[in-house]
């Protein structure tokens, strides 16, 4: 029998998980190394879990969690979509996430809250299974390894709103992302871009998509994508600074003819796109609008922009 294999071609080495002291599990803080779950945990078999990815940043006033309120609300919403009855209310889940950051004493990092169906029955319906709640965190560097990324349209389509609840962040939704990583493994592409069933651009495996044409910012409208919290932030920032932002259907041709393109997401933050399917976007260099948005976002999350302090929860 061969050993379990880890694919690392696309992996940024900074992403290899670094342990922290403690993980919050069902109301208790447990040492990282003692955190276990049964092999017959329902969600492990069927993907019916709900999760979030949240970053916290080093600021002048200590670590600050970015848009914790919105992430907590989406986490609860996604859990409810799966029929989960949570033993904790919004405030308790909010406070628990702050507590884990405090306990682990990190200056910056990533929070991973997860609700999942535990061990009891293995019928798909998860009727009698306990709902488990977990919050971990760890230091995390850049998600995509380069300053600008080369991306490729995946042969897989983005999941459809006719198949699932598209605006919920559900574990099983990420199978397409895993398949696209297999598809790109060993190639020079850094990330996949998914089209929807109408052949319009949807999003990346874990990020939303934007283009810039004649200084106007365009992004796929809601409906076939995860409504990213970073996406909403970028739209707000861009409008605040006078840019026109259009939410609409975007074709691949439109994207290939854009002046600039970038991804947004908690993990990737603002990541400029150099090329799609080996065709440079604009000059293939960092564009003026993307550079401004990227820098402004960086200031916002680090508490350096006085107009957007409202999104920071200081720990
Ligand atoms: C499929 C998908 N799209 C977009 C995003 C970006 O969402 P957010 O900005 O809320 O992190 C993510 C990450 O959560 C994602 O997994």
Instruction: Band the pLDDT of 13: cuts 50, 70, 90.
Output: low
* 33 & 120 share domain: yes
**Average pLDDT score over residue span 277-286:** 97
Q: Which range has the worst mean pLDDT, 5-9, 47-51, 103-107, 123-127?
A: 5-9
266 in ligand 1 pocket by Cβ < 6 Å?
Answer: yes
pLDDT at residue 279, as a whole number: 98
The answer, yes or no, to whether residue 213 has pLDDT greater than 80, is yes
Instruction: Determine whether the shortest distance from the Cβ of 132 to ligand 1 is under 6 A.
Output: no
* End-of-domain residue from the set 78, 110, 138: 138
Query: What distance in angstroms lies between residue 155's CA and the mean position of ligand 1's atoms?
Result: 20
Surface-to-core class of residue 216, CB atoms within 10 Å of its CB (0-12 exposed, 13-18 middle, 19+ buried): middle
**Which of 207, 267, 271 to mutate to test ligand 1, by most ligand atoms within 8 A of the CB atom?**
207
Picking from 138, 158, 189, the residue at the C-terminal end of a domain is: 138
The answer, yes or no, to whether any atom of ligand 1 lies below 6 A from the CB of 224, is no
pLDDT digits (tens, 9 = 90+) for 288-307: 999 999 999 999 999 999 99
Ligand 1 within 6 A of CB of 112: no
> Do 272 and 224 share a structural domain?
yes
Q: Tell whether 121 and 261 lie within a shared domain.
A: no
Q: Which of 180, 202, 228, 263 to mutate to test the pocket of ligand 1 (most atoms within 8 A of CB)?
A: 228
| Å from CA of 1 to ligand 1 middle | 37
- 19: nearest Cα among 39, 37, 35, 3: 35
- The number of the ligand 1 atom at minimal distance from the alpha carbon of 226 is 3
Ligand 1 atom, smallest distance to 267 CA? 11
Provide the β-strand partners of residue 132. Answer: 116
Share of the chain above pLDDT 90, in %: 91
Same-domain status, 56 and 117: yes
Residue 112's domain spans which residues?
A: 13-138
For residues 59-84, give the mean pLDDT.
98
298: tokens are 């960086």
- 233 CA: nearest ligand 1 atom: 9
Residue 265 beta carbon below 6 angstroms from any ligand 1 atom? yes
Verify that 158 and 108 share a domain, yes or no.
Answer: no
Mutate to test the pocket of ligand 1, among 51, 52, 53, 196 (most ligand atoms within 8 A of CB): 53
Q: Any idea which residues carry the catalytic annotation? A: 169
pLDDT in the model for residue 9: 46
Domain membership flag for residue 206: yes
- pLDDT tens by residue, 147-187: 999 999 999 999 999 999 999 999 999 999 999 999 999 99
- pLDDT, tens only, 109-142: 999 999 999 999 999 998 889 999 999 999 988 8
Do residue 177 and residue 55 come from a single domain? no
The ligand 1 atom at the shortest distance from the C-alpha of residue 266 is 11
Query: Among the three residues 118, 138, 158, which one is the final residue of a domain in this structure?
Result: 138
Residue 129 has φ and ψ, to the nearest 5°, of -80, 145
Compute CA 145 distance to the chain's CA centroid, rounded to the nearest angstrom: 16
Position 3 pLDDT exceeds 60: no
236 and 164, same domain (yes or no): yes
pTM: 0.95
Q: Which CATH number belongs to the domain containing residue 132 in this structure?
A: 3.30.470.10
Answer whether 255's CB lies under 8 Å from 281's CB.
yes
The tally of CA atoms less than 13 A away on the side-chain side of residue 49 is 23
Let me know if residue 96 belongs to a domain: yes
Question: Is 307 inside any structural domain?
Answer: no
Whether 102 and 48 map to the same domain: the answer is: yes
């Amino acid at each position: 029998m061969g050993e379990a294999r880890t694919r690392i071609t696309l992996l940024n080495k900074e992403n290899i998980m670094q342990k922290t002291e403690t993980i919050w599990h069902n109301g208790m803080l447990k040492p990282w190394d003692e955190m276990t779950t049964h092999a017959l945990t329902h969600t492990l078999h069927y993907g019916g879990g709900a999760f979030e990815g949240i970053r916290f940043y080093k600021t002048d006033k200590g670590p600050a969690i970015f848009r914790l309120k919105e992430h907590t609300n989406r986490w609860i919403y996604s859990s409810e979509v799966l029929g989960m009855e949570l033993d904790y209310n919004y405030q308790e889940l909010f406070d628990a996430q702050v507590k884990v950051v405090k306990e682990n004493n990190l200056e910056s990092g990533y929070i991973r809250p997860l609700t999942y169906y535990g061990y009891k029955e293995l019928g798909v319906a998860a009727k009698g299974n306990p709902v488990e709640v977990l919050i971990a965190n760890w230091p995390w560097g850049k998600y995509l390894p380069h300053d600008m990324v080369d991306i490729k349209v995946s042969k897989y389509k983005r999941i459809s709103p006719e198949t699932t609840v598209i605006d919920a962040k559900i574990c099983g939704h990420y199978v397409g992302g895993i398949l696209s990583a297999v598809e790109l493994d060993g190639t020079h592409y850094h990330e996949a871009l998914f089209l929807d069933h109408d052949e319009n651009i949807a999003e990346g495996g874990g990020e939303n998509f934007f283009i810039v044409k004649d200084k106007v910012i365009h992004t796929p409208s809601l409906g076939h994508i995860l409504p990213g919290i970073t996406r909403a932030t970028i739209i707000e920032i861009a409008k605040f600074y006078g840019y026109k932002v259009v939410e609409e259907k975007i074709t691949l041709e439109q994207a290939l003819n854009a002046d600039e393109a970038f991804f947004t997401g908690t993990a990737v933050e603002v990541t400029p796109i150099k090329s799609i399917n080996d065709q440079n976007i604009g000059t293939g260099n960092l564009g003026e609008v993307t550079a401004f948005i990227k820098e402004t976002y960086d200031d916002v999350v680090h508490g350096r922009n006085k107009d957007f302090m409202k999104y920071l929860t200081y720990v």
